[in-house]
A = this chain, B = another copy of it.
């Protein structure tokens, strides 16, 4: 590819600085934009019609077919692809393994009432999730298990945190996602007639002894504090995953995987 104009090499270029500021959650909230880092993630975003504001590419760092394809598709879609030096890319991208292309996108709307569900949906709800890596891992597993939606209730990170996008491998663009307060989420479950199955370390019922057919939501709390009291409700079925070793809990994304794939096993 021949850049139409010379590559930006200055770290103080205003567009570069504006993109770097999007690593900050407050800035993402103010602008309604976020960063997609990595070609695979970007291809998934493009597959799902995400609005790209602009993209940064560094030809010297583009070494994979996915990266070439991502740039080509951005260009076909008429998105501006700004050539930058490797130094500038290192600043805009995260970590030291940049694959040469990063895009600024408009953050998708995550309103709960926008979710459309099939009959008998399989939903995942994760409360007070703090680490973008855990959120991304849950999204990736939810995609694998064919979940119909992932809801972040009272999240401590923004859903479209760039690190969550990256950890999800871009599946955040293919799995329907929403974010709302726990109270609103409980009301939504009631309205939709969805049974909540909540993982709790102190539950007496084994997760494998519960019927996971029909419209259900698998609910997971934070590793540090578990679920909030809102979930202490007779309509919520508490289940436990056997802990047969010395530790008292599993990683939240691992717990999500075990419950989701038990649901898949029962439902197919």
**Cβ contacts under 8 Å, A140 to chain B:** 247, 250-251, 254
Interface residue count on the A side (C-beta < 8 Å): 35
Copies of this chain, tallied across the complex:
2
Residues of B within 8 A of A245 (CB): 142-147, 171, 174-175
B258 and A171 contacting across the interface, CB-CB below 8 Å: no
Residues of B within 8 A of A31 (CB): none
For the complex, what is the distance from the CA of A81 to the CA of B38, rounded to whole Å?
Answer: 45
Q: In this assembly, does A58 line the interface, its C-beta being within 8 Å of a C-beta of chain B?
A: no
Closest chain B residue, CB of each to CB of A264:
B242
Quick check: A243 and B208 within 8 Å, CB to CB? no
Q: Smallest CB-CB separation from A245: which chain B residue?
A: B143
Q: Are B261 and A141 touching (Cβ within 8 A)? A: no
A204 near B: Cβ within 8 Å? no
Interface-central residue, A243, A244, A262, by most chain B CB under 10 Å: A244
B175, B242, B257: the one within 8 Å of A258 (CB): B257
Contact A144 B243, beta carbon cutoff 8 Å: yes
Considering residues A141, A257, A264, which has the most beta carbons from chain B within 10 angstroms of its beta carbon? A257
Is A253 an interface position by the 8 A CB rule?
yes
When distances are taken between beta carbons in the complex, the residues of chain B under 8 Å from A174 are 245-247
Instruction: Considering the complex, give the chain B residue whose CB is closest to the CB of A250.
Output: B144
| A224-261 contact mask (Cβ, 8 Å, vs B): 1 or 0 | 00000000000000000111111101110110011001
Q: Which residues of B contact A241 (CB under 8 A)?
A: 144, 261
Q: List 20 A-B contacts (CB under 8 A).
A: A140-B247, A140-B254, A142-B245, A143-B244, A143-B247, A144-B241, A144-B242, A144-B245, A144-B250, A145-B244, A146-B242, A146-B244, A147-B245, A208-B265, A241-B261, A242-B261, A242-B268, A250-B257, A258-B258, A261-B262
Extra 14 A-B pairs, beta carbons < 8 Å, given A142-B245, A143-B245, A254-B254: A47-B246, A137-B254, A141-B250, A143-B244, A144-B242, A144-B249, A145-B242, A146-B245, A147-B245, A174-B245, A241-B261, A242-B261, A251-B253, A257-B257
